[in-house]
Structure 1
Amino acid sequence: MKLIDMRVTDYLDVLKSDAPAPGGGSVSALAGAQGMGLLLMVCDLTLGKEKFAEYQEVCAQAKTEGQQLFQELREAVDKDTEAFNLVSAAFKMPKGTDQEKAERSAAIAAGTLVATEVPFRSMELAYDGLLTAQKLIGYSNPNAASDLGVAVLNLMACVKGAWLNVKINLPGVKDLAAAADFQEKGQKIVSEAEFLEKELYKQIEQAL
């Protein structure tokens, strides 16, 4: 069964067990999906309301953007665990002959690249989510301002949590150019997201 299809209690039981997956990458993606879910809720609590007529265009655009981000982050919950399982399976491959060693090494490298790409994509999605949340501040139902704030916090948790999962896999990325690209772009996303989250949170808190 996919993680995303589990009952919350079952998911939490698996999470707290000694099973190595799901782990931080899946949890980060779920935080991002939760953030986008809240953001979409804020849109729906604004759209179609006559007293928020001036916010309709902004919220409609945010909802369109948000639905795609939400769906991708939902999928990333399981993709991250699948990537971990790919690496784990590669490490269990036989290594009795030179050919087996070469095949095992190649499989580990390929799996590690996927296990780096998946959380990196989660970072990108969550950062885009923060940019979408920025559009809604002051242009959405003020009664849902706290929900928008929690959305921002969850999206930031996704960015930073996924970044940790990128970093722990970087030493295993054999393509040095790709590893350097992940490092540079990932750090940039984190820095920009931290600045944006701080500003958004302050604005939301002041509006309450």
Structure 2
Amino acid sequence: MKLVDMKVNEFLDVLKSDAPAPGGGSVSALSGAEGCALFVMVADLTLGKEKYADFQDICAAAKEKGLPLYRELTAAVDKDTDAYNLISDAFKLPKGTEEEKAARKKAIADGTLVATEVPFRTMQLGYEGLKLAETLVGHSNPNCASDLGVGILQLRSCVFGAWMNVLINLPGVKDAEKASYFGAEGQKMYEEASVISSRCFSAITESL
């Protein structure tokens, strides 16, 4: 069964078990999906209301662009666990002969690359979601300000958590060019997400 098809309590039971996956990567993706869901909800609760006429275009755009992010982040919950399992399976391969050692080494390298690419993509999605959520700060139904704030915090957790999952796998990425790209772009997104989320949180809490 896919993780996203589980009941909440079932997912949490698996998460707290001694199974190594799902772990932080899947939770990061879930946090991002929740963050997108919240800012789409805020947009929906603003759209169609005459007293928020000035916010209609902003909210419509946030919803339109946010829904694909929500869907991809939801899928990433399982993708991250699948990526972990690739590495886990690779380490279990036989290594009795030189051919087996070479095949095992390649499988580990391939799995590590996937396990870096998946959280990096999660990070990108969370970062894009965070930028969209910011457009709604001060431009959406003020009764939903706390919901928007929680969504922003979830998206921040998504970016930060995914970044840690990139970093822990990065030393195992054998392609130097890809490793450099993941490291530089990930650091940039991490720093910008920190600034955006802090700015948004301050603006929202001051408005409450």
Give the alignment of 1:97-176 within 5 angstroms: 97-176=97-176
Note if 1:178 corresponds to 2:178.
yes
1:88 and 2:64 matched: no
TM-score, normalization by structure 2: 0.99
Work out the CA distance in 2 between the residues paired with 1:54 and 1:193. 27
Asked if 1:22 is matched to 2:10, the reply is no
Moved more, 168-177 or 14-23: 168-177
Q: Distance in 1 between matches of 2:26 and 2:104?
A: 25
What is the CA deviation profile of residues 32-66 of structure 1, one whole-angstrom value per residue up to 9, with x for unaligned ones? Answer: 10100101110111111122122111100000010
CA RMSD of aligned residues (A): 0.7
Consecutive unaligned residues of structure 2, counting only runs of 5 or more, are none
**Aligned pair 1:76/2:63, yes or no?**
no
**Equivalent position amino acid for 1:104 in 2:** R
How far is the alpha carbon of 1:176 from its aligned partner?
Answer: 1.5
Q: Distance in 1 between matches of 2:96 and 2:123?
A: 39
**The residue matched to 1:104 in structure 2 has which SS?**
helix
Tell me what 1:56 maps to: 56
Give the Cα separation in 1 of the matches to 2:72 and 2:90. 26
1:67 aligned residue:
67
Give the percent of matched residue pairs that are identical in Structure 1 and Structure 2.
Answer: 62
1:42 aligned residue: 42
Task: Give the Å deviation of 1:19.
Answer: 0.1
**2:198 aligned partner:** 198
Could you list the structure 1 runs, at least 4 aligned residues long, displaced by more than 2 angstroms after superposition.
none
Offset from partner CA, 1:109-130 (integer Å, 9 cap, x none) = 0110000000001111111111
